[in-house]
Amino acid sequence: MEIAIGADVIGKNGKLGTVHRVIVDARSNAVTDLVVKHGFPFTQERIVPLATVTKTDADGIHVDLDERAFEALEGFVEQNFRAPDPDYVGPPGFETTEFLLNEVTAGATLLGGEAVPPLGFPGGEPLAPADTTRPVVEPGTPIVDADGETVGEVHEFAADAETGAPQKLVLRRGLLFHREMELPLAWIAQISDKGVALNVTKREVEAWLEDMGREEERSAR
């Protein structure tokens, strides 16, 4: 099963919206949530956990949600998410660590100028910056080479519906005359708040694109 940006999301009683972007775990590069756009003319976006996906077919992505459950999901806010502290101890009834750290810090109180976790329970502190981001991938997200130089932007992105592992990355480049090309998945080094980072240089990408272009021309003859 594969999920892709732009696909319809279908609930128990019909279409709920479309996948506008996806949220990724920066430590594993795996998709954890879908951001589903819905409503007209005033559109909204809701975060749909990957775990709710039951199947994918020609109609779209099917989720185990009805309209009421979907509308109860958290809305997407244009900001990075942060991973929970693995040592977090939640208040009674909220022991799970599956929460957005931003919510914890927002609900904290200040004691001597320092943030204190809600109800005084320990944990919830930020991890190292490289481990705390939950980047968002959408059309237009930068694709950078091994040296951090931009080589283009995301045109298409797809992931496995069960594991969240990337299954398709299509590069788009050019201002006036756009060109799209699917990149090898082995090139993905990390997905972060800076974009999709590759483990190859811009020169290697351009050489590969030229080779693929010549191959397409030969095939078209």
pLDDT in single tens digits along all 221 residues of the chain: 789 999 999 999 999 999 999 999 888 999 999 999 998 777 889 999 999 999 999 999 999 999 999 999 988 876 544 444 455 555 555 444 444 444 433 443 334 444 444 444 444 444 434 444 678 999 999 999 999 999 999 999 999 999 999 999 999 988 767 789 999 999 999 998 889 999 999 999 999 988 887 887 787 77
Please check whether residue 7 is in contact with residue 1, taking contact to mean a CB–CB distance below 8 angstroms.
no
pLDDT given for residue 182 in this prediction: 93
d(CA 83, CA 134): 7
CATH 2.30.30.240 domain extents, the chain: 2-71, 136-220
Strands 114-116 and 109-111: antiparallel
Query: Which residues does 110 contact at the CB level (< 8 Å), separation at least 6?
Result: 116
Is the preceding omega at residue 41 within 30 degrees of 0, hence cis? yes
Residue type, 27: R
CATH code that applies to domain 136-220: 2.30.30.240
Strands 60-63 and 8-11: parallel
Query: Which residues does 54 contact at the CB level (< 8 Å), separation at least 6?
Result: 62, 63, 64
Which CATH architecture does the domain made up of 2-71 adopt?
Roll (2.30)
Give the predicted TM-score (pTM) of the model: 0.71
d(CA 131, CA 22): 18
